[in-house]
Amino acid sequence: MGFQPRPLNSNNEMANEFFKRMKLAQEEAKMALAKAKDDMTWCYDQRRIPAPEYKPGDRVYLDTSDIKTTRPSKKLSHRYLGPYTIERQVGPLAYKLCLPHSMSHLHPVFNAVKLRLAPPEPIPGWRAHPPPPPTLINNEEWFDVEDILDSRIFRRKLQYKVKWKSYGYKDASWEPVENVAHARDLVCEFYRRHPDAPKQIRRMLFVDPAVLQAMYSTRRTSGSHPLIPPASAGLRTSPAGLRAHPAGLLVPPPSDPGFAAHRCATSAAHYYTVFTRQGLLRLVLFGSPLASFV
């Protein structure tokens, strides 16, 4: 059954010419594609860096661009994880890593493009000891302060640059005053080394209730206001432990040489500007003697 196929040769001259023309065009297209491929390969190889070769035992960092982490923002995630040890080479550019148990959900084989060789150890066989865990106080983590490096006023609040114990200088962080309350000795030592560094500024208002009542109930008249002392009147009372100086400087007792205060009188009040080891303190007195100093 069936039939004998017709021979490819045809007596039709136009058909033979069309076949030859199409076959020649196909060959030219193949040659053009091959030449374009060779040109692109040559151009790429001009700036191509050969893939690094790793061997078992090398420590490498792993690129996290294709790894989903628990970080809240991809932008703030670590670009590399590790370093991890290469277990073996499974292909020309594929390597199997020794991953920790927390990354067991990942396939341990990665392309060489995703790996970056870790720098060599400064001392062969040396391993840095991990920092100690934080101390728990009332179920809160507290880290030990080793030194105070600097101070600044940030958004109208005082901050200290803290070097934490068992951590390097690169881990030093700016902390508010509340976070270094347990390191008062180190703060005092810092100000002894850097007396001109920014300090905490506090303002306290001392007003006698009777004077405050008079201030709101009495009409202010020139020369007769109860809060306006006469021009010749001086400061009636100094803070406890201070004695008046002719130049207006309130000199502290010898037991506290780091304490000084300056008095300034205005038309309605007397001001103390007090410099202590804890910072600068401004006291406002509205014509009322200050019985005690806190």
Q: What is the pLDDT of residues 43-54, one digit of tens each?
A: 988 888 888 889
Question: Residue range 211-217: average pLDDT?
Answer: 41
Higher pLDDT, 239 or 89: 89
Least confident segment among 12-16, 92-96, 145-149:
12-16
Q: Check residue 19 and give its pLDDT.
A: 86
**pLDDT reading at 213 higher than 60:** no
Q: Check residue 140 and give its pLDDT.
A: 64
Q: Check residue 11 and give its pLDDT.
A: 66
Question: Residue range 195-209: average pLDDT?
Answer: 59
Q: Check residue 180 and give its pLDDT.
A: 87
- Residues of the chain with pLDDT > 70, as a percent, come to 56
Give Cα separations from 207 to 214, 241, 251, 273, 290 (angstroms): 11, 20, 23, 16, 9
Question: Residue range 105-131: average pLDDT?
Answer: 78
- Residues of the chain with pLDDT > 90, as a percent, come to 22
DSSP string, the chain: ---PPPPS--S-HHHHHHHHHHHHHHHHHHHHHHHHHHHHHHHHHHHPPPPP---TT-EEEEE-TT---S-S-STTS-SEEEEEEEEEE-SSSEEEEE--GGGTTS-SEEEGGGEEEPPPPSSTT--PPPPPPPEEETTEEE--EEEEEEEEEETTEEEEEEEETTS-GGG-EEEEGGGGGGGHHHHHHHHHH-TTS---EEEEEE--HHHHHHHHHS---TTT-TTS--TT---S-PPTT-B--TTSEEBPPTT-TT-EEEEEE-SS-EEEEEEETTEEEEEEESS-------
> Could you identify the residue written with the tokens 């037991």?
255
- 67 vs 79: CA distance, rounded Å: 10
Pull the structure tokens for residue 254: 């010898």
**pLDDT reading at 268 higher than 60:** no
Question: Which of 263, 294, 260 has its CA nearest to residue 280?
Answer: 260
Band (pLDDT 50/70/90 cuts) for residue 34 is very high
CATH classification for the domain delimited by 135-193, as one of 2.40.50.40, 2.30.110.10, 3.40.630.10, 3.40.630.30: 2.40.50.40
Most confident of 52-56, 200-204, 275-279: 52-56
Domain boundaries, the chain: 59-117, 135-193, 201-285
**pLDDT reading at 265 higher than 60:** no
Most confident of 20-34, 54-68, 167-181, 241-255: 20-34
